[in-house]
Amino acid sequence: MTGQDQRGEPEMTQESLDRNEIARHDGNIFLDKNDDDWEWRRKLRANPATAKLYRLGVGLLGLIIVAGGLALVPLPGPGWLIVFAGLAVWASEFEWAQALLDWVRDKVRAWNVWVKGQSLWVQGLAALVTLAAVLTFFWVLFRLSGVPSFMPDAAEDWLHTFAGL
């Protein structure tokens, strides 16, 4: 890195991009001090004791975030987003997580490009299939666990009457 751009973020040079690409495929499990563009992390990784503690901290933090996200996946909310955030934490230190995160990003980008290239009726069909999957998920969830008591009475009555819950 040679400096900062207009937003104050580190400026990426071809050399640093090449180093990051090499670091992801150099056969190491962990990133090392030569794989990092941030000086404070290079200093931590240069000392074996602090490098182990830092890796342990990143590993535990990532595990907590991923586990929390996985616990939220069946519930309404950003479960998968939290899982990917935990994966990003791991990817800051572990090469296998960087490779997995890159793979996920590539698949999501490919899906978005494919959907945007389709006609409007195909996009609508994809939206309807997604809606049907979400409704089916909640129907099964409420069928197994019951309708939550915090729901308004009118919604509870409707779910019992029309949805067979």
Q: What is the per-residue pLDDT across 22-46, written as a single tens digit (0 to 9) for each?
A: 555 555 555 554 555 667 777 777 7
Report yes or no on 78 lying in a domain: yes
Per-residue pLDDT tens over the stretch 42-101: 777 777 888 888 888 999 999 999 998 888 877 767 888 899 999 999 988 888 888 888
Q: How far is CA 67 from CA 75, 78, 79, 82, in A?
A: 14, 13, 10, 9
Spatial distance between the Cα atoms of 156 and 117, rounded to a whole number of angstroms: 40
Task: Quote the pLDDT of residue 1.
Answer: 46
> 161 and 100 in one domain?
no
Shared domain check, 79 and 4: yes
Do 156 and 147 contact (CB within 8 A), yes or no?
yes
Do residues 66 and 101 share a domain?
yes
Cβ proximity of 132 and 140 under 8 Å: no
Considering the domain architecture, whether residues 96 and 122 belong to the same structural domain is answered as no
* C-alpha–C-alpha distance, residues 5 and 98, integer Å: 24
Q: Which residues contact 61 (CB under 8 A, 6 or more apart)?
A: 89
Claim to verify: residue 33 and residue 59 sit in the same structural domain: yes
- Residues 109, 110, 115, 116, Cα dihedral to 10°: 60
- 67 with 130, same domain: the answer is no
73 shares a domain with 4 = yes
The terminus-to-terminus CA distance of the chain in angstroms comes to 59
Task: Identify the domain containing residue 13 by its residue range.
Answer: 1-108
Residue 113: inside a domain, yes or no? no
Taking the model in full, what pTM does it have?
A: 0.55
